[in-house]
Amino acid sequence: MRRREFIGLLGGVAAWPLAARAQQPERMRRIGVLTILAENDAFTKAWFAVFADALQALGWELGRNIRVDFRFAGGDEDRLRTYATELVGLGPDVLFANGPQALLALHEQTRSLPIVFAQVADPVKLGVVANLARPDGNITGFVAFEHTIAGKWVELLKDTAPSTARVAVIFQPENPFQKPYFQAAEAAASSFGMQLIPAGVGSAAEIEGAITSLAQEPKGSLLVLPSAPALIHRDLIIAAANRHRLPAVYPYRIFATNGGLLSYGLDVAEVYRRAASYFDLILKGAKPGELPVQLPTKYELVINLKTAKTLGLTIPEPFLQTADEVIE
């Protein structure tokens, strides 16, 4: 269903009352949410469940003073642009752009409606804000990753699979803003004597082919950059990497909890809790252009020890002790 109430997405989060309370009616405010991901994606549901709880803690309750309209593109960028037009046409008080594709689609449609983004790597280079400290215009939000983190991802591969000689980098080829990740990873790989192999993918078949090709020679590992195709096809990537016994590093904890070797990235729940505060400020009159773009404040390392054993890897105890979570 293209239009569904917020409560449907969250699968019955108890914190959101369905009926208005017996009190003086309040003005109903409206948020429009756009994402490239699918409506039934567990990752999406988890993000917005946290966002819902944080908004409610700030006094915004569905059915009493807030309404949320969602558009889920399910990986289809043409549909994403159509939905961006629809959402802007609804005239919401604030728009929420989940990811760079959604942000660009909304940016094309409006220069006046407030937009808050999450999980965008470099909004200045993207051309949507003037600078991080004072964005100006109608857009502000929360940066997902700084590109230099890709060097850390390569280092983690060296720590967990020291025999690695070749690293296939799974990325989205039509996304020009993934290039800085590759450059940072390449610099780190060179210092460790590793060869980086670019693997631009978009479809399930391309992902399967890239991983199978890497597995044809020994001492290969996998680095998955944050992108919509990687999230959409995450179970396929995890299964293929494990089937070919390839060590892999992922950008989000959901990869590790779903069977991937390890993940290192921002605490997504923390980002969405913080994002709710910006919606609260804007709904109370703040201008997005005066709210600084926020950088990540917390990263988490998750290691799936069960997968490590399956891959024949022995993870050093000191390294395990640095993890925020070890899955056994």
| Widest CA span in the chain | 69
Residues 203-239 pLDDT 10s: 999 999 999 999 999 999 999 999 989 999 999 999 9
Question: Which pLDDT score, from 0 to 100, does residue 298 have?
Answer: 86
| CATH class assigned to 6-145+267-297 | alpha beta
Question: Which pLDDT score, from 0 to 100, does residue 121 have?
Answer: 87
Question: Which pLDDT score, from 0 to 100, does residue 244 have?
Answer: 97
Residue where the block lists tokens 């043409």: 78
Question: Which pLDDT score, from 0 to 100, does residue 25 have?
Answer: 57
Rounded mean pLDDT for each run of 10 residues along the chain, 328 residues in total: 42 39 68 95 90 95 91 94 98 96 96 96 91 96 92 96 96 85 95 95 94 94 94 96 97 96 94 96 97 93 97 94 96
Residue where the block lists tokens 């109430």: 5
Residue closest to 238 by CA, chosen among 204, 288, 279: 204
| Rounded percentage of the chain residues whose pLDDT exceeds 70 | 92
Neighbours of 160 (CB within 10 A): 22
- Common-topology check for domains 6-145+267-297 and 149-266+300-327: yes
Residue where the block lists tokens 């396929």: 236
pTM of the model: 0.88
Neighbours of 74 (CB within 10 A): 14
Inter-residue contact 165 to 142 (CB < 8 Å): no
Per domain, the residue ranges of the chain are 6-145+267-297, 149-266+300-327
Instruction: List all residues 6 or more positions away from 296 whose beta carbon is below 8 Å from its beta carbon.
Output: 142, 143, 144, 145, 146, 266, 267, 271
Which CATH number describes the domain made up of 149-266+300-327?
Answer: 3.40.50.2300
